[in-house]
Chains A and B, each alone.
Chain A
Amino acid sequence: WTSFAPEFKELDENVEYDEDEGDFDEMDE
């Protein structure tokens, strides 16, 4: 199944997403 979803990273546990400062921005100078 990795060929079906090549960039998919397999996890055993949920991981917390560490937000990026620009996550909320559509356009940043």
Chain B
Amino acid sequence: DLLKFNQLKFRKKQLKFARSGIHDWGLFAMEDIAADEMVIEYVGQRIRPLIADIREKQYETIGIGSSYLFRIDSESIIDATKCGNLARFINHSCNPNCYAKIITVDGVKKIVIYSKQPIAVNEEITYDYKFPIEEDKISCLCGTPNCRGTLN
């Protein structure tokens, strides 16, 4: 992981922000990506869980629909709502070509999006958000054959 992460840091994957068939905008590969490669780190502001709960309520009241809050572990959450990198634009898919994984670099946990399978140029990057089950359902728009219907 560490070696792959350092490689990613030195030479970022060529990605493009463009119109998505899944939802509004998305992130697309601009180069072929082999399986199990680090595609991008999910970067944002590291906050405590209780602060994330309070913010989630605030975001709902101001109408920020989708959640850019990503739980790292029981102690910290990455909030990419107002600051972060392109990873916040990756759309969800029930049949994704990527997956998210927590790695530890120099003792600090990070969220990294890996390729699950080879990804071709212009293919949209997707991963399973794995949202917790909630009562208020969010419809899933991924449109893949085995779509679960909702994100949560």
Contact = CB atoms under 8 A, between A and B. Distances in A.
Direct A–B contact in complex, judged by CB atoms less than 8 Å apart: yes
Interface of A: 1, 4, 7-17, 19, 23-24
6 contacts: A1-B86, A4-B17, A8-B83, A8-B84, A12-B43, A14-B46
B104 interface: no
Contacts of B88: 8
Interface of B: 17, 24-25, 43-48, 50-51, 54, 78-79, 82-86, 88-89, 110
Contacts of B43: 11-14
B25 A1 contact: yes
Task: Enumerate the 4 nearest inter-chain pairs by beta-carbon distance, A residue then B residue, closest first.
Answer: A9-B83, A1-B17, A17-B47, A17-B45
B100 to A, nearest CB: 14
Contacts of A24: 50, 54
B89 A23 contact: no
B26 to A, nearest CB: 10
A16 to B, nearest CB: 5
B147 to A, nearest CB: 25
